[in-house]
């Protein structure tokens, strides 16, 4: 009997040793190889990886980071206490690094706190409030009952919601609080496991137009023997879809890749009683993106990140006319700083517009009018659903950045001719209004963008820009290891 037990033990030990030896070989081969397949032209685009790297890392990224450190862009109002609408969450993340520290009232600049949701300066606040009351209500108040006016307002809200692509937090809710984004950076918090994967599974399985019979390799690696075959079947299915559905999936995948890069770049490397050290975790990065460790999925994810960047850049460039107007002013109450930061913002937008190889959106939704309208509505509902899923994230810091970054995909589709223009879910109405802006400042725009929308727009793009820059950091770290 003892001999049998010993034989079983040695057999088990021998096989496990072989497995781990093979696994270590794979990791060794992974050094420096993640990026060799992430070069050249991007699918469905006229651009290439190298052009984006040079443009972002050397020209746009440094300027954007300085802008996002300003008071106007660093304070973001968000409701992190909304319940999950899809399933019962067992508990919130109990890890201390999951917590978000809200701002006390005196930490938020008075101009940010005092500004109402669609105004920019004290003078504009007073003037536009009077104009809004006169133009929207003054002519009808004497002839409409309170019930009728409420019905009209309800219809307007319904029409607005019908064109929204994400759930917008109620800024006036007592649960909405200002958060300093610089003091609550996106990084690895320890939030992982079944609950975290449930979020991504729900996004991919229920909102990416994929039939349930096709398995998307969400976490393929060497431990899953069927991952490679599942990946081939999935991508074969995806290649057979229309360009709009391929683009939708690539935006979601690019967003997922961006978040994973942030977690790998700001990983908790040391958590001792005397210090907490955050930094680049090359091994974690390879587990998420190396070709062999992800059954070929990693390089595809990185290419989708570049695709997302390219389309976001196009959307940002198309928003330039609104921000160029002299009537638009950033407003924190510090006049000189506000003027300086508006100049920096316009410089970034002009730089975005100067990019030589923008995504060409003219080929999208160009087929049958009824089919295109149906597809646009399906895309809108999918985005709306994904924004609601963000309230199911158990880690509050992950929820904060997830809610903000999920909006990147909403406004990227604006330049895809779906008119999904939004740092804060502008929706079709917002994009059409930007396109219809008068060329003269004499006639003011018929709409305004809220500060929340503007802050979301630039910070969301800032996350993607940061991801592209971090890839260069990982390239250098991998080269050093070799």
Find out whether 204 and 412 touch, Cβ atoms under 8 Å.
no
Does 398 participate in catalysis according to the annotation? yes
The DSSP secondary structure of 119-168, one letter per residue, reads --SHHHHHHHHHHHIIIIIITTTTTS-HHHHHHHHHHHHHHHHHT-SSPP
| Active-site position among 93, 395, 409, 425 | 395
Is position 155 annotated in a ligand binding site? no
| Beta pairing partners, 79 | 176
Cα distance between residue 97 and residue 246, in whole Å: 36
Is position 117 annotated in a ligand binding site? no
Is position 314 annotated in a ligand binding site? no
Question: CB 94: neighbour CB atoms within 10 A?
Answer: 11
Is position 353 annotated in a ligand binding site? no
Structure tokens at 413: 């589709």
Find out whether 388 and 406 touch, Cβ atoms under 8 Å.
no
Is position 256 annotated in a ligand binding site? yes
Question: CB 227: neighbour CB atoms within 10 A?
Answer: 20
Does 395 participate in catalysis according to the annotation? yes
Cα distance between residue 39 and residue 366, in whole Å: 30
Cα distance between residue 428 and residue 339, in whole Å: 30
Task: Assign residue 154 a region (left: φ > 0; alpha: ψ between -120 and 50; beta: otherwise).
Answer: alpha
Cα distance between residue 327 and residue 254, in whole Å: 35
CA 112, 116, 120, 124 torsion-angle sign: negative
Is position 463 annotated in a ligand binding site? no
- 3-class secondary structure, 474: helix
Q: What angle do CA 216, 221, 226 make, to 5 degrees?
A: 60
Smallest Cα–Cα separation from 356: which of 50, 43, 20?
50
Find out whether 278 and 97 touch, Cβ atoms under 8 Å.
no
Find out whether 149 and 140 touch, Cβ atoms under 8 Å.
yes
The DSSP secondary structure of 358-407, one letter per residue, reads ---GGGTT-S-HHHHHHHHHHHHHHHHHHHHHGGG-SSHHHHHHHHHHHH
Residue 230 CA: distances (Å) to CA of 26, 86, 234, 253: 20, 27, 6, 16
Cα distance between residue 337 and residue 346, in whole Å: 14
| Active-site position among 45, 398, 409, 425 | 398
- Torsion angles phi and psi, residue 113, rounded to 5: -70, -35
Q: Which residues are annotated as a binding site for FAD?
A: 187, 189, 200, 253, 256, 288
Binding residue ranges: 187, 189, 200, 253, 256, 288
- Residues forming the active site: 395, 398
């Amino acid at each position: 009997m003892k001999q049998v037990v010993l034989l079983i033990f040695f057999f088990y030990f021998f096989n496990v040793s072989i497995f781990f030896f093979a696994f270590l070989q794979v990791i060794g081969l992974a050094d420096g190889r993640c990026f060799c397949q992430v070069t050249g032209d991007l699918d469905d685009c006229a651009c290439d990886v190298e052009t984006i790297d040079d443009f972002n890392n050397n020209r746009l990224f440094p300027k954007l980071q300085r802008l996002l450190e300003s008071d106007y862009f660093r304070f973001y109002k968000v409701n992190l206490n909304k319940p999950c609408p899809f399933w019962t969450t067992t508990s919130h993340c109990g890890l201390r690094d999951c917590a978000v520290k809200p701002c006390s009232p005196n930490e938020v600049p008075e101009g940010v706190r005092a500004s109402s949701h669609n105004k920019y300066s004290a003078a504009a606040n007073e003037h536009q409030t009077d104009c809004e009351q006169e133009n929207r209500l003054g002519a009808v108040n004497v002839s409409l009952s309170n019930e009728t006016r409420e019905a009209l307002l309800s219809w307007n809200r319904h029409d607005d919601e019908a064109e929204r692509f994400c759930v917008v937090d109620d800024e006036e809710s007592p649960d909405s609080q200002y958060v300093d984004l610089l003091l609550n950076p996106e990084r690895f918090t320890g939030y992982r496991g079944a609950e975290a994967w449930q979020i991504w599974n729900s996004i991919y399985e229920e909102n990416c137009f994929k039939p349930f019979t096709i398995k998307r390799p969400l976490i393929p690696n060497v431990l899953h023997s069927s991952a490679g075959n599942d990946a081939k079947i999935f991508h074969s299915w995806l290649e057979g879809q229309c360009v709009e559905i391929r683009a939708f999936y690539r935006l979601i995948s690019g967003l997922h890749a961006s978040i994973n890069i942030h977690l790998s770049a700001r990983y908790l490397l040391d958590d001792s009683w005397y210090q907490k050290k955050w930094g680049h975790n090359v091994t974690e990065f390879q587990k998420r993106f190396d070709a062999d460790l992800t059954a070929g999925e990693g390089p595809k994810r990185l290419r989708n990140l570049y695709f997302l960047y390219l389309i976001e850049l196009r959307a940002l460039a198309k928003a330039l006319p609104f921000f160029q107007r002299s009537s638009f002013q950033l407003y924190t109450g510090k006049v000189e700083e506000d003027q300086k930061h508006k100049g920096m913002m316009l410089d970034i937008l002009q730089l975005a517009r100067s990019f030589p190889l923008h995504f060409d959106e003219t080929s999208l939704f160009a087929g049958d009018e009824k089919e295109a309208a149906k597809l646009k509505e399906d895309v809108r509902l999918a985005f709306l659903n994904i924004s609601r899923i963000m309230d199911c994230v158990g880690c509050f810091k992950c929820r904060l950045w997830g809610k903000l970054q999920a909006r990147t995909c909403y406004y990227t589709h604006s330049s895809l001719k779906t008119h999904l223009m939004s740092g804060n879910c502008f929706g079709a109405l917002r994009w059409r209004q930007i396109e219809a802006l008068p060329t003269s400042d004499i006639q003011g725009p018929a709409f305004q963008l809220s500060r929340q929308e503007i802050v979301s727009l630039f910070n969301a793009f800032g996350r993607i820009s940061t991801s592209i820059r971090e890839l260069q950091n990982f390239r250098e770290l991998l080269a050093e290891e070799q």
